[in-house]
Structure 1
Amino acid sequence: MILTGLDIDSKVKTKEIIISPYHEEQVNPNSYNFRLGAMIKVYNSFPLDPKVMNSVEEIIIPEEGYVLQPNRLYLASTEEVMGSNFYAPTFAARSSIARLGLFINLSADLGDIGYIGQWTLQLFTIHPLRIYRGMRIGQIMWWKPQGDIKLYNGKYQGSNGPQQTQIYKDFEKGASKVVFNI
């Protein structure tokens, strides 16, 4: 069951949902519009390797904006810290942003219950596009879970700014050495 905008507003006020900073005028009928943070990161050494920490270039978005180039992945973050120990979040681009040809999450739109931090966005555009820090870029929706809740306690908890992949930590733990006995 998705929460309505009125429910989101109510749950923020009771601190069951964290959105900070929070602005009531960004509440929609069943979502909350979030803004683009000030920094983007771009991988700068190829090929990328999931077994190591890949290097990135950090770019602060200037006041006049920054032009994204096609066929390049940019990591950005929400300006807001968001999360909940009670509701499961999903997020998507605002339709107005999608109409410009900008994807804000290529395949990772489901968040974990218990994650609280700035959300990393995967920006990908189909043609050159100027972005601005603080622009309303996406919307987060909140869903009431069914069943017992186990809170997220992973490697991205409490993120501040865009986070490049930390999948290499899975290799360090041996998590990728799964054997299937069928």
Structure 2
Amino acid sequence: MKARVAASVVLALTVAFGTAGCGLIAPQATTKHYDASDGVSGSVGTIDVRNAILVTDASGGTVGSLVVTLVNTGSTAQKVAVTGGDKSGEAAYVTVDAGQTKKVGTDPESTSGNVFFTPFSALPGSLYPVYFQYGDQTGVQLQVPVLDGGLTEYKDLVPPTALPTPTPTPAISETPVPTETPAP
């Protein structure tokens, strides 16, 4: 009789552990970080770079528009320098206030608040190096995917083929001040 009870208990424990054992020894997939969209992510100090992509036209245009979300988890504003390619070009700067989530590149027609790489020769489907850095923090270089407007969600993000050049503000010329001529 005791052998039957013991066998029943062992069988019950075997069934219980057998059906729930996966959760005891296998890692949980929900605890692993992954990029849920087409972009890539990284971190620099208190700045989180999320879902970075570059959008260009289908033929591999001359302009690449960076679309990214920057999240400042710190308590001070940061001025993030963004450079592309071999980092020899001039950096674009994006200021992210403390606790702010800032989306960049969602309006390709605007030249303010966007980051454009020009000249840009990367083709859709390739990866393009983009470097994010601020202050004395060690920056992070991400291999950012280059996409085109082939998908509906990216159609409105394709940059213009030529960026408008800012019109220079005319310099204010000083009018000479008349001087008095001495009386004879």
TM-score for the superposition, normalised by structure 1:
0.32
For the pair shown, the structure with the greater C-alpha radius of gyration is: 2
- Larger RCO (CA within 8 A; separation ≥ 6): 1
Quick check: which one's helix share is greater?
2
TM-score for the superposition, normalised by structure 2:
0.32
